[in-house]
A and B are shown apart, each in its own frame.
Chain A
């Protein structure tokens, strides 16, 4: 019924028992796309954001000690967040920014020159 249930289902079918799919928000500004990935409890030092061709992969292992509470059932805490995003062709490969704050990873993907809005001067 809820998204949470669906994630569990997906995990079961893909046998990805050690992974967790983080929620993500997407926003657009005139010069960039902003991708906000929710990775509560992630270890900032071991966080990886890899852009390979058009495939952006986010891997965020949990901070050691953060999941020190054994749960009565497996709720997925303590698993590594991982998610892949396929980008369109209008992203500039270089100059990607990523920052982690309060468990939210913000990735700024700059648009290529041709994808930016252009103002045309009227003569």
Chain B
């Protein structure tokens, strides 16, 4: 019954690892660049390419559409934005944070040229999906082989 007297920590195992003071919050959010500038998180992405083009998905739970920016410069696509920490009601305080709040940025070199106007992006359920169809000049073209004129059959 003594266990029940706990008010904090609220959670025992398996959340124990995150209540471990040895483990800093920063270590949960990917590598921190050893620079003196602001910390920018790198969101995990998945990239898939086929003959039609490339699809990139990024997991961005809690990120609002308005705070998201996608830019294309040459063949480098950059997804950046800010994951704003939700506001707590009055008198509330954070006990533990595992999510990566703050600025994030990820740049990817595309394996083929794309037409900017054909790029589409949608954010749904915390997953960003960017579709980048191949530019026409990057698509394979089938060249028909014609019979030479005057060739004997």
Contacts and interface: CB of A to CB of B under 8 A. Distances in A.
A86 B5 contact: no
A100 to B, nearest CB: 8
Contacts of A69: 46, 48, 55, 57
Interface residues of B, number: 47
A103 B126 contact: yes
A55 to B, nearest CB: 10
Query: Chain B binding site: helix, strand, loop or mixed by DSSP?
Result: loop
A103 B64 CA distance: 11
Contact of B10 (A33, A39, A83): A33
Given A27-B92, A102-B62, A103-B126, A2 B27 contact: yes
Query: Chain A binding site: helix, strand, loop or mixed by DSSP?
Result: loop
Interface string A2-27: 11100000000000000000011111
B89 A25 contact: no
B127 A66 contact: yes
Contacts of A44: 125
B29 interface: yes
A95 B107 CA distance: 44
A103 B61 contact: yes
Interface centre among B14, B28, B99, B125 (most CB of A within 10 A): B125
Interface centre among A44, A83, A85 (most CB of B within 10 A): A85
A75 to B, nearest CB: 6
A103 B59 contact: yes
B96 interface: yes
A88 B28 contact: no
A88 B96 contact: no
Contact of A36 (B7, B18, B86): B86
Given A28-B92, A88-B4, A90-B7, A40 B28 contact: no
B12 A29 contact: no
Interface of B: 3-15, 18, 27-31, 44, 46-48, 55, 57, 59-64, 86, 88-89, 91-99, 124-127
Interface of A: 1-4, 23-30, 33-34, 36, 38-42, 44, 63, 66, 69-72, 75, 77, 83-91, 102-104, 115
